[in-house]
Structures are given as structure tokens and as C-alpha cells.
Amino acid sequence: MRSHSLLAITRAVSRSLGRCELTHLERSPIDVDLARAQHRAYEEALASLGVRVVSLPEEPDLPDAVFVEDTAVVTAELAVLTRPGAESRRAEVGSVARALAPHRRLARLEAPATLDGGDVLRLGKTFFVGRSGRTGEEGIDRLRELLSPFGYAVEGVPITGCLHLKSAVTCVADGVVLVNPAWVDPRAFGARWIEVDPAEPAAANALRIDDAVIHAARHERTRARLEREGLRVVPVDVSELEKAEGAVTCCSVLIDA
């Protein structure tokens, strides 16, 4: 059992999800009712792992608002509200700020900085930040200014071929990352790494909760690799959210409460 409690802020799927931002995928029809059912199952998976879920109401006119991860970076000391790289997503931040305000002091990234939370991977006291189409140098520099007083390092990492750093790499256990080496150099993180199965390039996105990882169910070969390493995998079907270029980390902001 962990000695702290974990809270996840999530947000219900928007009826306009079909008009989401897309960068690497062709648009394909999204079944919003199915997306909602899958998202509820994701919230139940979090709850089954002892996480308290605070679910925000749908934002009907903000297609990507379910992907709350992109709006905030939270540490023990403060919550940094981002300025998402996609203009259409900037209006998502205010309501997440209100949800975070009872828990943390708030800081904000201002123009011209841009940064998506999906580009931010924390390993110990280091925040690795993807240099992506969404996150620019000003965003990385400003995050460093905000976090370095608390002893954190912030390091920019090049990525290619994917939307966010956490499309390419996530932490699955202390000192262990799950990575797609075609999209990011695994040596950048000073950690042991497990590679995704080459047939499953999008399988590097896993959401660690203590000694378990929530992982998209369709990536069966990569799941087998994780299980061979002794990790407990909780598979969730997120097929409709994946059509919107989302996955499992992006649907929550985790807070140590």
C-alpha cells in the first residue's frame, strides 16, 4: 500500500470529439457513446487501483477536453497550468485550474511559451520535456524557471514521428521506461528500458499507478513484454480515444493528495 493518496482529475468525453485535433492520423469516425463507455471503464480502472477520481463535466465545444493531461504539470509544490500548443485547446485550461486550485498553488505559462503536458515525463527529480510540434523552447525554459527553485531539473528531448514525448516513452516502474526507439532515443533517460513490440509503435504510452500500469488493451504483444518483466498490467480498451490521438496517460492529471 502507498502511504499517500492519489487523486486523478479526469473529464467526460465531449460530444464534439470527432472534431479533435489530428497530427499523425487520418480522421476516422468516432463513436462518442463508445468513447464515453471506454472512458468510464478507464476511470473505473483508476478507482480499482485506489485512485480517487474527480471527473469534470463535459465541455461540449472543446473536442479535445477529455485529454486533461495536456493542461497541467503538477508537483508536490505547485501546479503549472500550460499554454497548449494547439490554439483550439487553450480554453481547456481554466476549468482544470479551478479543479486544481484547492490542491496546489497555481503558476501559469504565458505567451509566447507553449507546452503540452503530454510532452512532460518525470523521472525522479528530472522532468524530461519533448521538443514537439506542441511544445517550444520558451515553454521548456519557463517550466525550468518555475521548477528549478524546488530542486528539479528540466531537460529538453528531441522526438520524431509522434505527437508527444509520452507517445514515445513513459515510466513503468522505478528506473524503468517503456519506449518506442523509433520515436525517441532510449538512452536519453538514464533508465533501464523495455522496448515496445515493433508491430505496436503506439504502445509506449502506459499510466503507472504504484506497482501497476494501465495500458491500451490492443497492444497485446507489448503487454506480454511488460508482464514478462513482472509488471502488473491493467488493460483498458481505448480504441475510440486512440482515433483522436489520445491514449491512457492523457486522460488524467494525477495529484499526490
CB under 6 A: which stretch of 93-101, 124-132, 144-152, 241-249 binds ligand CIR?
Answer: 241-249
Q: Which residues are catalytic?
A: 164, 250
Nearest C-alpha neighbor of 136 from the set 109, 115, 159, 150 = 115
Report the residue closest to ligand CIR, judged by CB.
Answer: 118
Q: How far is CA 36 from CA 17, 70, 172, 240, in A?
A: 10, 19, 26, 9
Does 139 sit near ligand CIR (CB under 6 A)? no
Does 21 sit near ligand CIR (CB under 6 A)? yes
Strand partners, 107: 80
C-beta separation of 127 from 115 below 8 A: no
Map the footprint of ligand CIR across residues 91-130, applying CB under 6 A.
Answer: 118
Cα 9 vs. chain centroid, distance in angstroms?
12
Interface pick for ligand CIR out of 79, 140, 244, 253 (rule CB under 6 A): 244
Interface pick for ligand CIR out of 30, 45, 51, 69 (rule CB under 6 A): 69
Phi, psi of 111 (to 5 degrees): -55, 145
Interface pick for ligand CIR out of 32, 86, 106, 107 (rule CB under 6 A): 86
Does 240 sit near ligand CIR (CB under 6 A)? no
Q: How far is CA 153 from CA 56, 122, 143, 186, in A?
A: 31, 10, 10, 18
The CA distance from 6 to 49, in Å, is 10
Does 59 sit near ligand CIR (CB under 6 A)? no
Does 234 sit near ligand CIR (CB under 6 A)? no
CB under 6 A: which stretch of 16-24, 137-145, 179-187, 212-220 binds ligand CIR?
Answer: 16-24
**Which residues are at the interface with ligand CIR (CB under 6 A)?**
20-21, 23, 64, 67, 69-70, 86, 89, 118, 164, 244-247, 250
